[in-house]
Amino acid sequence: MRVTVRLFAAHREAAGTSTYVADLPDGATVSDAYAHVCASFPKIAHRAGSTAFALNRTHVSGDAPLNESDEVAILPPVAGG
């Protein structure tokens, strides 16, 4: 299946893009999409403990299952305010 991945801040700069399409096997989860990101862009360090995720613009945990055309966002530590 194909999902759209959104990247922000340090991740966006390391990848050189804010969005890309990942082709993942059926049954893949949000964590699998994150692993795909880190494999595709080696400058992005895999930091499971401090990275959050959103699926279709709602916060989810890494074990959330993906479906075709979903939008997955990889959220590095936030710093609003």
Partner 1 sequence: MTQHFVLTSQPLDERAVAALLDRDGAGAVVTFVGHVRAHSRGRDVTKLEYEAYPEMVEGVFKQIADEIHARGGVIDVAIHHRVGTLEVGEVSVVVAVSAAHRSPAFDACRYAIDRLKQIAPIWKKEHSPDGAVWVEDRP
- Per rule CB under 8 A, is residue 75 in the interface with partner 1? yes
Q: Smallest gap, in angstroms, from Cβ of residue 26 to partner 1?
A: 26
Establish how many alpha carbons lie within 13 A of residue 49's alpha carbon, considering only the half-sphere containing its beta carbon: 0
**Which range in 20-28, 37-45, 55-63 contacts partner 1 by CB under 8 A?**
55-63
**15 contact partners, CB below 8 Å, separation of at least 6:** 7, 37, 40, 41, 43, 44
**Which range in 5-13, 22-30, 37-45, 62-70 contacts partner 1 by CB under 8 A?**
5-13
Sheet holding 2-7, edge to edge: 19-23, 2-7, 71-75, 52-55, 58-60
Structure tokens at 63: 């074990």
Residue closer to partner 1 (CB basis): 27 or 81: 81
Interacting residues toward partner 1 by CB under 8 A: 6, 8-10, 12, 50, 54, 57-59, 73, 75-81
